[in-house]
Structure 1
Amino acid sequence: MSKFKERLKNGERLFGPFLNMNYPAVVEIAGLAGFDFVIIDNEHGEIPLESTVDLIRAAKLTDIPAIVRVYEGNPELIDKALDLGADGVQIPNIGSKEAAEIAVQAAKFAPEGSRGCNRFVRAGRYGSIDKADFFGKANEETAVILQVEGQDGVNALPEILKVKGVDVLFVGPYDLSASLGIPGQVDHPKVIEQMNEIMAQAKEVGVAVGFFVDDVKKAVEWKKRGVQYVSFSSDVGELFTRFKENADYFKEH
């Protein structure tokens, strides 16, 4: 089992940013700063799939797990991200048991799934890993993170959580708030209530829960509530915040 998945199994609370900048140094900096993981975002931002491999290489330099968020639950995209050497995949817009099954199947080799078998890729160290070791360990080491964002996913949650192979159920609060008719109000009691219900259901079946926050104090609050996979803001958001703080301070003094 990978260190990342082992830490989740042990109940640890992990903290990491979304990365939208197509710049390997940002990944290294995140690792040096002490984050527990990074999410390389192919859904939003400027990172194309073909550049993802260099960001994953940068993650390895500072020993920080690299999760790739694909832009849809397309099995080819999931397979490609894992072939590039990602430690896990995050799949958005899971709204049904069927969508969850497709995502997990795409991330797992047979007999657990239908991921294409090729060890001559970066994940297999270009063929230098023995095929028995590579195909035998990949399923155990690869993290599968399913993202529930709307009421279809919330309503289907009991069935989604029956799908084997799900390591993290990730909730997107902004999309969740929009689906409740209160877009952007991520602290609204309706959002908090629904999040608590989701966490209770996931806990019953032993699946870790993930949540997005854009404020570190909120991150600590959700950490204390039991969220294990706390995704934090983004590289561009944090860069803007720090730049603006310093520019404003200079102007005011």
Structure 2
Amino acid sequence: MPRSAQDILRNNVRDKLDRGGVVASITVRLTRGIEIARIAKTAGFDTLYIDMEHNSFSMDTTGQICMAALALDIAPFVRVPANTPEWISRVLDAGALGVIAPHVGSAEEARAVVAAAKFAPLGERSAAGGLPQLEYRAFPASESYPVMNRATMVIVQFETVAALERAEEILAVDGVDMVMIGTNDLTADMGIAGQYDHPRVREAYQRSIDICRRLGKHCGVGGLSSRPDLVAEFVKMGARYVSTGTDAAFLLQACTAKAKQVLDLEP
């Protein structure tokens, strides 16, 4: 039987990032069953993140997938639909090991996310007791809070020029662990929607990566599933977390290829 909270709880993604490894993530936007956690594990992903910003998943569905992922040692993250305590604390209480906060544009907003995600003294998250991350076991707060704070990742997204201009102050916020560049929204805000090869995109990644390296944080790549060449370039620059695409896109891609394979047999 585990003797401590630390014996139970590990975040393999944080550990891998801290070792300088590259993390592969799948975005869950279609599949409502816990099977997606096993598929992610079998496929070799380090983590999955449930995209509540862009789908109609319920809190119950989100929690079930998170708990299935925990049991398989796949770190479950959730992109919340709003950066508010009632969303952030609930997805974490449901089993998530990290929160992805979209559209963060200032240090003040980043501090609010940290406050909702972390227990004292780093934040103001309310004690729920019997957390799924700790197998519903009870531990003294003096033991569980540091372990939960260490394991729970706060990931902010840069999706506007304004956020990039404030990158240093945002990433300097204590408790922010990583930034993920939302390349699609960022290029749209720049007025170059979809122009992934534009020099401003490379500049955005280089600046974010340099700041992360200086502050001991991590940088992630998002929105570039169609451009593995650019993903490779940004990983070589120093990005270490890659959002590879959505379950819906992977399913459609495989189905399309199979249908074409058969239809091409027509004489």
Can you list the C-alpha shifts for 1:74-126, whole angstroms capped at 9, x where unaligned?
A: 11211111111211111101001100000011111111110011213434443
Which residue matches 1:200? 210
Mapped to 2, the partners of 1:79 and 1:235 lie a distance apart of 25
Mapped to 2, the partners of 1:250 and 1:215 lie a distance apart of 24
- Calculate the aligned-residue CA RMSD, in Å: 1.7
- Deviation of 1:139 after TM superposition, in Å, equals 0.8
Output aligned runs, 1:103-252, within 5 Å. Answer: 103-212=113-222, 213-215=224-226, 217-218=228-229, 219-252=231-264
Which residue matches 1:2? 11
Out of 29, 35, 38, the residue aligned to residue 48 of structure 2 is: 38
Mapped to 2, the partners of 1:249 and 1:47 lie a distance apart of 33
- Deviation of 1:224 after TM superposition, in Å, equals 2.3
- Deviation of 1:127 after TM superposition, in Å, equals 4.6
Query: Is the alpha carbon distance of 1:194 and 1:131 closer, same or farther for their aligned partners in structure 2, counting shifts above 3 Å?
Result: closer
Output aligned runs, 1:4-153, within 5 Å. Answer: 4-21=13-30, 22-153=32-163
**1:237 partner amino acid:** A
- Deviation of 1:140 after TM superposition, in Å, equals 1.2
Q: TM-score, normalised by structure 2?
A: 0.89
**1:223 partner amino acid:** V
Can you list the C-alpha shifts for 1:140-167, whole angstroms capped at 9, x where unaligned?
A: 1111111111012111112112201111
Query: Is the alpha carbon distance of 1:126 and 1:60 closer, same or farther for their aligned partners in structure 2, counting shifts above 3 Å?
Result: closer
Contact 2:103 2:160 in 1 (8 A): yes
**1:7 partner amino acid:** K
Can you list the C-alpha shifts for 1:26-55, whole angstroms capped at 9, x where unaligned?
A: 221011111111111111123222211110
Can you list the C-alpha shifts for 1:147-198, whole angstroms capped at 9, x where unaligned?
A: 1110121111121122011111111000110011011222322212222122
**1:235 partner amino acid:** D
The answer to which of 117-126 and 134-143 deviates more is 117-126
Contact 2:28 2:49 in 1 (8 A): yes
Percentage identity across paired residues of the two chains: 32
SS at match of 1:203: helix
Contact 1:119 1:134 in 2 (8 A): no
Q: TM-score, normalised by structure 1?
A: 0.94
Contact 1:32 1:62 in 2 (8 A): no
Mapped to 2, the partners of 1:98 and 1:166 lie a distance apart of 12
Contact 2:67 2:132 in 1 (8 A): no
**1:71 partner amino acid:** P
For structure 1, the 5+ residue unaligned runs are none
**1:222 partner amino acid:** F
Contact 1:72 1:93 in 2 (8 A): no
SS at match of 2:195: coil
- Deviation of 1:135 after TM superposition, in Å, equals 2.1
For structure 2, the 5+ residue unaligned runs are 1-9
